[in-house]
């Protein structure tokens, strides 16, 4: 009896030791969701594979071993086996509890933002992301950050989007009227993809962006150049138009390099002949562009649906955009 108890205690110690060690480790370690997520994924994969083999291999074996050999052969009548029942209830239960504990630890890593972090903001819209640095610089579909921990506050202008950063193993919904967040640790300078991971309309697949992680010095230089640019830029109408097109998030749905997104490309559109939904043809000129921006549904162009929202701008802002469109061929 004593022998059995000792054996059980040794076994319990061996099983719990990694967890005790892990708890001590967690207290002093650097939180790294990418690492804990990957480890968790590996654990699940191994456990799932082992369970699969334990179930499937005997199954295949028994199919052949106990198949009926004569027409009137009857199988053995087995009432039950209490020992087996208990075993295959307890073992999966403990396994799932342990996996649950690990899931909870990973979840905490993903939700608890380390104290030393910078805060940025990302706003989803149909179809793109507006990003704001701590200095208030807005960029479209690209989030520039210095190396370090980054908390991203999230929201949406229209429908539910989802800010997904596969390289950092994290994602979070962007919900209109609500503030959500995620955080990631930007370690290596480089570019990392951002996806919208919530089907949000016909332009969903074009909601691609990137996180650009920069060395601290490079980042500060970039901030300075951006701040200088915003002081001088609006000197001419077309420069102002360019700023407006970027700030009003037109580029979420319109390309400026000939690409068709949810809407037509903007370059070369001036002077082009287009067909409206009612079959009439019009040549795109300044007046048409201004009407299009102010009241997009009045003269819908064939083949693009009615998704664009109206924009109420000052007269010179409409004209600035038209001036800018003339410059991009």
* Residues at the site binding ligand CUA, with contacts judged by CB under 6 A: 124, 161, 196, 198-200, 204, 207
Closest separation in Å from C-beta 149 to ligand CUA? 25
**CB-facing half-sphere around the CA of 316: CA atoms within 13 A:** 5
* Least spacing, CB of residue 12 vs ligand CUA, in Å: 49
Q: Which long-range contacts (CB under 8 A, 24 or more apart) does 98-102 make?
A: 99/43, 99/44, 99/47, 101/19, 102/40, 102/43
Please give the torsion angle defined by the CA atoms of residues 82, 87, 89 and 91, in that order, rounded to the nearest 10 degrees.
180
Q: Which is nearer to ligand CUA, 200 or 212 (CB)?
A: 200
Nearer to ligand CUA, 124 or 264 (CB): 124
Looking at the Cβ atoms of 41 and 199, the one nearer to ligand CUA is 199
The nearer residue to ligand CUA, 148 or 203, going by C-beta atoms, is: 203
Minimum CB separation from ligand CUA for residue 153, in Å?
A: 17
Tokens of 47: 């456990």
Buried b (16+ CB within 10 A) or exposed e, 241-272: bbbbbbeebbbbbbbbeeeebbbbebbebbee
One-character DSSP codes across 241-292: HHHHHHHTTGGGT--SSS--SSS---TT-TT-EEEBTTS-EEE--HHHHHHH
To ligand CUA, the closest distance from the beta carbon of 220 in angstroms equals 31
Contact (Cβ atoms closer than 8 angstroms) between residue 214 and residue 189 = yes
Give whichever of 205 and 230 is closer to ligand CUA, judged by the CB atom.
205
- Bridge pairing between strands 117-125 and 148-156: parallel
Q: Extract the tokens encoding 136.
A: 């208030």
Cβ at position 144, least distance to ligand CUA in Å:
21
Q: Which CB, 136 or 177, lies closer to ligand CUA? A: 177
Other beta carbons within 10 angstroms of residue 40's beta carbon come to 19
In the complex, least distance from residue 253 CB atom to ligand CUA, rounded to whole angstroms: 12
CA atoms within 13 A of residue 267's CA, in its CB half-sphere: 10
The smaller minimum CB distance to ligand CUA, of residues 127 and 324, is found at 127
Q: Give SS3 for 144.
A: strand
Least gap, CB of 92 to ligand CUA (angstroms): 37
| 178 phi/psi in degrees, rounded to 5 | -130, 155
CB of 160 vs ligand CUA, minimal distance in Å: 8
Residue count (the chain): 329
Q: Which is nearer to ligand CUA, 122 or 196 (CB)?
A: 196
């Amino acid at each position: 009896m004593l022998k059995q108890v000792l054996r059980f205690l040794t076994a319990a110690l061996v099983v719990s030791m990694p967890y005790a060690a892990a708890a001590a480790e967690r207290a002093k370690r650097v939180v790294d969701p990418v690492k804990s997520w990957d480890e968790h994924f590996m654990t699940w994969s191994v456990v799932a594979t082992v369970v699969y083999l334990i179930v499937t291999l005997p199954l295949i074996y028994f199919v052949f071993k106990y198949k009926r050999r004569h027409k009137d052969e009857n199988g053995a009548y087995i009432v039950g086996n209490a020992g087996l029942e208990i075993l295959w209830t307890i073992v999966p239960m403990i396994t799932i509890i342990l996996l649950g504990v690990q899931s909870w630890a990973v979840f905490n890593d993903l939700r608890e933002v380390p104290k030393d972090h910078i805060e940025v903001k990302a706003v989803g819209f149909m179809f793109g992301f507006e990003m704001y640095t701590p200095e208030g610089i807005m960029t479209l579909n690209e989030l520039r950050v210095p190396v370090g921990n980054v908390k991203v506050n999230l929201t949406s202008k229209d429908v539910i989007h989802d800010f997904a950063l596969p390289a950092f193993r994290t994602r979070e919904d962007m919900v209109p009227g609500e503030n959500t967040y995620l955080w990631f640790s930007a370690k290596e300078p480089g570019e990392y993809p951002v996806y919208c991971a919530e089907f949000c309309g016909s332009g969903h697949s074009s909601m691609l962006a990137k996180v650009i992680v920069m060395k601290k010095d490079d980042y500060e230089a970039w901030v300075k150049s951006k701040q200088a640019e915003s002081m001088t830029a609006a000197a001419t109408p077309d420069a102002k138009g360019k700023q407006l097109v970027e700030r009003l998030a037109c580029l979420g749905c319109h390309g400026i390099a000939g690409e068709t997104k949810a809407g037509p490309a903007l370059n070369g559109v001036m002077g082009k002949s287009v067909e409206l939904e009612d079959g009439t043809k019009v040549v795109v000129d300044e007046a048409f562009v201004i009407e299009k921006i102010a009241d997009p549904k009045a003269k819908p162009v064939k083949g693009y649906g009615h998704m664009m929202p109206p924009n109420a701008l000052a007269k010179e802002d409409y004209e600035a955009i038209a001036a800018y469109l003339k410059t991009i061929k």
